[in-house]
Structure 1
Amino acid sequence: MYMSTAEQERLANFVLSGASLFDVIRWRRISRVFKKVADKRLAAFTRIEVRMYTGIAQMHGHNCNKDTYEWHPHAKVMMTEDVKALIQLLSSFRHSVQQLFMDSPIIELLVCQINRQQVNILIGMLRKSRFTCKNSHKDAKQPTLWPLLPKLKKLTITSQSNQLEHLSRLLTYAVGVDFLYQTENMDLLCLKICMGTYSQWSQKPHIRMFRHVTKFRQWTDADSLGERYFQQFSGRSRQKQCRRPSSSS
């Protein structure tokens, strides 16, 4: 049965209107028309938050009619394969996301996975070079996925004081920020550090904090950002959680 392009679009709109977010991402591969309709829906997402929850397994197993979360059909973003799923999800929104909020352990997992992908790409290129002549290397097409989020304008990373080592380790992966975003397009890069009580700041364990922050600044090339780089320290009691920053521009 033949269907015109307009009929295909109506069908795609009908099917995708009631689909979960992850089905929308998966069904983009059905046809060009489905991809076009799905991309319109995905383009509405300009802000993403990626947080760590200690009880995520329990949350995932708890079915609630009023639940506002859309769960990945297979991953809970806890193990290696789930980190791959995280990158795939971010890639689906790469042309629309302008604001990204992450916890410091998540940004390390993300950078670590990008490092692995780059190593695999390099190994693949070396293997292919054995079967191609030297001149053909110039015509070989390179992957164009990077930066991962080319439209990103605001990045906020939240870290507890005992999680700062995740930030200082970013330098060790040999993955520059240009794999994540374009520096010239950034309006704000905010590092928010949640401390304990103010009286704890002078204790020796917190002296290392500035070493971690310095390495993070090196990784982000904070000096080139100038006033667009911002650090925020919040002193809270241990019973209180660090509130996420406002998304208003």
Structure 2
Amino acid sequence: MKKIMTVILLIALVFALTACDIVSGMETKKETPSQALTNIMTAIKEVNKEVLTNYNAIKLIGSIDESSIARNKKIFENLEYNILSVEETEDDSKVKIEIKTKDLTAVSQDYVNKSVALTNQNNNLGDNKLDDTAMKQKYNDLFVTIVDECEYTEFKEVVDVHLTKEGNSWKINLDGKFHNAIYGNLVTAQEQVVWPGANSTITVQEKQQEESAEIDNKSNVQNNSDNIAGKSITPRKVRTIK
């Protein structure tokens, strides 16, 4: 009887060890670069901060408050992609991906024009003007409206996405070209923004004022470039040239 019990226990132990190996194998299963990029693109479209954080990609969406999430979902609602090729080494990989989305090139200038007008309107209200929190929501709503009303034309670009191996997973190396592509050229368009109030016929004094204002405007453009990543779309103080 003791021998029989011993055999039964040994058999049970073998099955237990086998099961542990299977579970361990599942836990340590290596992720492919294609799987990693698929997860990243899905997380971008869904504005999933947890997944993006895991892949070192949270900077692609920046702020994750409720308004920002709603805004980014509007930006990415037309985002599509197709993985074309994968080059993988032991620690790195390069994934060639075709990105298709709504062309948002015109949004930057339209937003600047209307946000400046909105700021001026609020300033003219005197004691009744809205506070920063209320204006931030106004700017956010304005941006969403402009994106929504922008006529659809397709923006398509092929980019290389570089990934670095960490353990059994991958981390994305953020790249400006990839960033611009998923935002439908919105990032690059920021660099071409013309701020309202510029005047080509100026005096020396006005020229000095313009140079000072240009510094402020460059700061505004940089701020809005950050806004593309979802941190905020609240314009800084706008200084125009008359």
TM-score with structure 2 setting the length = 0.23
User: Highest Rg: 1 or 2?
Assistant: 2
Q: Which has the higher helix share?
A: 2
Structure having greater relative contact order (Cα 8 Å, sep ≥ 6): 2
